[in-house]
Amino acid sequence: MLRDRATARPLVDRFQRRITYLRLSVTDRCDLRCSYCMPERMTFLPKADVLTLEELYDLAIGFIARGVTKIRITGGEPLVRRDIIDLFSALGRRLGHGLDELTLTTNGTQLAQHADALAKAGVRRVNVSLDTLDRAKFAAL
């Protein structure tokens, strides 16, 4: 039986520390093919097995109700997910209402295209995964 979210107990780990941070992976897809992350024979989840944006939002709201105050959107590469800005916008409306921080981890390839919308949604912190500044080393990855 599901608890009413208003009476949901805070999440704690085995040491009784409150869990206030959630990494929410929204896709296993990426627009890069780094060998350490995506082997040649990579198999992706069937689309039917991937949570919809609405399901991801509901999941995040459930965690917020249990005391999560910081959410980091990750992937794969989150910005390749169709309509991902809708999820950022919806979660951004929770900032100041149980959610204190909404952040993104990205490889940066789509960042210029989405930066304004992310900022408008309330994203104030972005972690860009940058493996190397050396083109030859990057090509080898």
**Is there a contact between 125 and 118 (Cβ–Cβ < 8 Å)?**
no
Give the pLDDT confidence score for residue 41 in this predicted structure: 72
Per residue of the chain (141 residues), what is the pLDDT tens digit? 344 455 688 999 999 999 999 999 999 888 777 766 666 777 767 787 889 999 999 999 999 999 999 999 998 899 999 999 999 999 999 999 999 999 999 999 999 999 999 999 999 999 998 877 787 877 776
E-strand stretches of 40-124: 70-74, 101-106
Domains annotated on the chain, with CATH: 18-29+49-140 (3.20.20.120)
Residue 67 burial (C-beta neighbours within 10 Å; 0-12, 13-18, 19+): middle
Give the pLDDT confidence score for residue 11 in this predicted structure: 93
- Please state the pTM of the whole predicted model: 0.85
